[in-house]
Amino acid sequence: MTDSLQRVAPGGIARDGLNLKRCYGHDRSTDWQRRIFTVKDELLEAAKAVREKAYAPYSGFKVGAAIRSAAGIHVGCNVENAAYPEGICAEGGAITSMVAAGDTEIFEVLVYAEADTPVAPCGGCRQKLAEFAGPDVVVRLAGADGVTTETTMADLLPAAFGAAQLK
């Protein structure tokens, strides 16, 4: 895989975020492959842009998150508070934006921090994401050089607590 083009073996499956589509061995980028990377680029650019608005005067560690849902792309940044537990993480801000837009299902997540290695969501954010994202939802973690790690909600939070446990 390169930064701009994912090559899929003939008959292989590539994920475009909303649907799975089959690639029939074309060696060049098809329309749906371009759409895959447009969506990824939109999420990365949205997370980078909102990261700049983060309020992190205490740690200096700014994070941006972008979530894609049926209603569109929703962003959030971390907002610190002198009383540390009272701050909000970027993922929580993006979830709040999504719910305020009237949506409750996450299709894809990207978390961006200008760190040498990608930064995973904290435990609380993993649980918050799991409330709205199924186990197969892709979560991309990006560092200063762009997207470098891709995982799923199931890998980030195995045996997530959910509504089923409350019955």
55 annotated ligand binder: no
8 annotated ligand binder: no
Catalytic residue among 91, 105, 131, 150: 91
125 annotated ligand binder: yes
Nearest to 147 by CA among 23, 39, 26, 14: 39
Q: Which residues have CB under 8 Å from 157's CB, separation 6+?
A: 126, 127, 129, 130
Surface-to-core class of residue 68, CB atoms within 10 Å of its CB (0-12 exposed, 13-18 middle, 19+ buried): buried
82 annotated ligand binder: yes
19 annotated ligand binder: no
SS3 47: helix
E runs forming strands in the chain = 13-15, 20-22, 63-69, 72-77, 106-113, 138-143, 146-152
83 annotated ligand binder: yes
80 annotated ligand binder: yes
Annotation says 91 is catalytic: yes
Binding-site residue set for Zn(2+):
89, 122, 125
Catalytic residues: 91
Binding-site residue set:
78-84, 89, 122, 125
Binding-site residue set for substrate:
78-84
